[in-house]
Structure 1
């Protein structure tokens, strides 16, 4: 289901990104929404795709055992759905937040096993997936350039907290998967641009997020968990906002 939704959102984003190249040049002769930036508040719907993975460190026990030879973090794609609230502070600075910000992502660890337990279902290469449904609470500071006709560039920096609704750290029957904590926090930065059309503003944005907290709920008695020490989230996302 999530795979089909990712395909549909990819199609929507590709179609929307084609708008500036097919129709925006025809709008340069007129100034659209001339009073739009004079409003204190803006609201928008955000739709995007993300590429996420885990940044991790090996535990010292990794060097002292001979079962798990290699551990790698695998990149995977996901989707973002959010509602934007934008408060203008002055001509160039604004505060942004997302009262509703859902991120669907899937990350994975790949293990190279020297002595796989074939009767137990192990293979020389084992892939352990971790699915996440995160509710984020970001606060961002936006700096915008001067508006040039129907175009404006901006950058953002901010902090956020995440609540993973699918975190498995408290599950008792998840012995063979990597257990993660529910709460995360981190920083993010990005760049985007506003395209002013007669009835709406379209905003493509590229953003990178770095998780700071250690997500790993380590269990030293489990083979797949014991060889990993700290786990931090990493994500890059491309999104479109319609305001």
Structure 2
């Protein structure tokens, strides 16, 4: 009888512990639901945002066939240079998983360096054996992305995206006349983009750190056979890594 009573007490303790765990889990779930920030945001069809941007830019250089016959410019090397920008975000939800995002206006201040190794520097033009030419661009862009979103886990979500971009260079120097020290660029550029981002839901806004790779597919070099620093180059394609902090609501 003593053993039977002890077994019944043990079973009662197990049942009581299980009941307490069920009650506790329900309370935790209720608290999590109560602490969910911006719970109605996922029902929005369209919403706006603003992005603060840091970019790291460079050229992809393709040498011209005449480069081998050039006895002055020996080497042309691109360098990575940082820049900054600002963008407006327009997002349209098309399903629980997919969104279309247009970034306009996007204004980027991008800087790209080209370093030349000169065999016969011209002393009258203050040339040295190593010369660096800085190319500045003010890019007004319109990227369009298709976003794929994960499930929302509390106040956190991951998303991936890909798409295309169109850019107009407000600082294009392709029509410059006195351009001996310039590498001239065309006004327009087209490219593809892809990246990943993270949504952090706060009580009044969503903060989204994001990183993307942006590659131009068109040749933006306006080649001039009369310019030493331009004639050695055939094609220039833009390459850019973009870090963004996006605020949405």
- 8 Å contact from structure 1 (residues 43, 86) kept in 2: yes
TM-score of the superposition, structure 2-length normalised? 0.85
Question: How far apart in 2 are the matches of 1:197 and 1:88?
Answer: 20
TM-aligned CA distance change 1:62 to 1:88, over 3 Å: same
The alpha-carbon deviation at position 29 of structure 1 amounts to 8.1
Distance 1:234 1:154 in 2: 23
Q: Where does the alignment leave 5 or more consecutive residues of structure 2 unmatched?
A: 1-31
Structure 1 match to 2:104:
99
Larger Rg: 2
Give the alignment's Cα RMSD to 1 decimal: 1.3
Between the aligned partners of 1:49 and 1:118, the Cα distance in structure 2 is 38
CA contact (8 A) 1:97 1:139 kept: yes
Matched, 1:146 2:151: yes
The Cα shift of 1:138 comes to 1.1
Q: How does 1:28-43 map to 2 (within 5 A)?
A: 30-43=35-48
Alignment partners' CA distance in 2, 1:172 and 1:37: 54
Inter-partner Cα distance in structure 1 for 2:97 and 2:64? 46
Instruction: Determine if the alignment matches structure 1 residue 195 to structure 2 residue 200.
Output: yes
CA distance in 1, matches of 2:34, 2:153: 12
Tell me, in whole angstroms, the C-alpha distance in 2 between the residues paired with 1:30 and 1:79. 35
- In 1, the alpha carbon distance for the partners of 2:33 and 2:199 equals 14
Q: For residue 162 of structure 1, what is the aligned residue in structure 2?
A: 167
CA contact under 8 A between 1:28 and 1:150: conserved in structure 2?
no
Gap regions ≥5 residues in structure 1: 1-26
Tell me which stretches of 4 or more aligned residues in structure 1 moved more than 3 Å. Answer: none
| Aligned partner of 1:184 among 186, 189, 192 | 189
1:202-221 to 2 correspondence within 5 Å? 202-221=207-226
Higher percent of residues as helix? 2
